[in-house]
Structure 1
């Protein structure tokens, strides 16, 4: 498959992973979707644009180009469930609303899905793993920031309104606790925004699998409420007036990660 991912190598120990902004569909997926799904409403809209300051920080960036409706890059390849509550799988069958993703009997075949695993999931994770290994070899450690967004209200997945900044560290297992404390301090200083650590979103497969602080790889997931930077309804427009102050907080979070790494490891 072409245009599976976009990767740019940086000059600091930080890698920003963006597994869900993609909107490309395979013919088999597109042909089977219900009308509501064709709007791609569960996309992490505009995430690459929101993090367009990454170059200034010297961060590496990895961006998926295919929709999560084809295959979810933040799920393990064996499709083991990550949450006890409602969620979606490696090959999603439902929308975030809980409604079916496909018309009855129109799901991609087992052979098609095996191809998606080999040609979309594997290249993303191979690139991610290789870049973390490169960063660790060059700097002695690596920092992984897994960047996500979601509508602020999805009753099927969580009650009420989601906080603006939802940090996840796999209940403290994916990064040094001093790093998560540093990030919480940044969020607390951003008084116009709400935040939580390891609330509804504790980190998906990427955070849980690659975050190995005992091996000097520290991973953090951010699930950002989309109301902080865009219109949450069709046509899902980017709102620069909302996004600019949100970007300042995101920049502060990533700078805090880099500063913590330099203090902790001396480089």
Structure 2
């Protein structure tokens, strides 16, 4: 069993709960995991540094204030290179496996074509992870024992939040490579706010997040080049009072991407994000989130 083999001593993810949930927010850090199972490393042809190229290093720490503010936060300990829960459950690349994919697998998505499926083929700028093809049961085991329970827990937290407050807001927390630039100007954005082009979240909440960060002096982009992945798209259902917002932080603000060590600016950025979150969850009027509830 994949879970017992790869995570015998530590749970692959963790739900950090406040003593009492005081706000209608749920935070999620699906790509900050740094626990690389030995069996996975043996399957890989990459060294211990290169295989980390897809990590959202320390993002859970940057957003740690969410729990102190009264919101639960789900944090992955498994790395994105091992399993990506920001994908459909069966976005799988047939070229990776020694036997046939099940008929229900989505082998033709753009993300699969780019090597970034549910079980990724690549990290970073096109580095192949695996030394040889995997049995398809390897991927199905990770999905069954980690991916599905992870999403069941996340979905349950959102339903619980909506039941308690009337609506729920998911904030999906990520980081992006230093080299990302605004398409028009070529300048580096510090943050990108994604709402699936207005479909996953109330526009008022999106605009409030952008405004708050810009008021703090940060360069902020909206949906370009990251509009939100599967999690934002899947859970963002404003007509059902589920709102989902993706926040991308530029790693250049806080991380040395060569040795994965925190820069001196980490503490200030963490404090700024803490203040941003406090201001966001304290907006004086959330009536724009409390829309008429569509039929389930």
Deviations 1:75-129 (A, max 9, x none): 11131536699561111111221121222x2x43211111100111111101100
76-85 or 137-146, which deviates more: 76-85
Aligned to 2:282: 259
Residues 121, 128 of structure 2: 8 Å contact kept: yes
Residue of 252, 257, 274 corresponding to 1:227? 252
Aligned to 2:140: 114
Residue 23 (structure 1) shift = 2.0
| Cα separation, partners in 2 of 1:84 and 1:118, compared to 1, 3 Å | closer
Aligned to 2:198: 172
Paired residues for 1:9-88 under 5 Å: 9-10=17-18, 11=21, 12-36=23-47, 39=50, 40-79=52-91, 81=109, 86=114, 88=116
Aligned to 1:204: 229
Gaps of 5+ in 2: 92-105, 291-296
SS for the counterpart of 1:42 is: coil
Residues 20, 68 of structure 1: 8 Å contact kept: yes
| Cα separation, partners in 2 of 1:87 and 1:35, compared to 1, 3 Å | closer
| 2: CA distance, partners of 1:124 / 1:59 | 17
Residue 253 (structure 1) shift = 3.5
In the superposition, the TM-score normalised over structure 1's length comes to: 0.87
SS for the counterpart of 1:76 is: coil
Aligned to 2:94: none
The structure with the larger Rg is 2
| Cα separation, partners in 2 of 1:56 and 1:212, compared to 1, 3 Å | same
Residue 161 (structure 1) shift = 6.3
Deviations 1:148-194 (A, max 9, x none): 11221279xxx966511011100110100111111111122122x22
Residue 36 (structure 1) shift = 4.0
| Cα separation, partners in 2 of 1:117 and 1:95, compared to 1, 3 Å | same
Residues 30, 38 of structure 1: 8 Å contact kept: no
SS for the counterpart of 2:282 is: helix
- For these two proteins, the number of residue pairs brought into alignment is 258
RMSD across aligned positions (CA): 2.5
82-91 or 47-56, which deviates more: 82-91
Residue 197 (structure 1) shift = 0.5
| 1: CA distance, partners of 2:273 / 2:112 | 29
SS for the counterpart of 1:15 is: strand
Deviations 1:228-266 (A, max 9, x none): 1121211x1122x31233224323442344234853268
Residue 25 (structure 1) shift = 2.9
| 2: CA distance, partners of 1:181 / 1:21 | 26
Aligned to 2:238: 213
Residues 65, 277 of structure 2: 8 Å contact kept: no
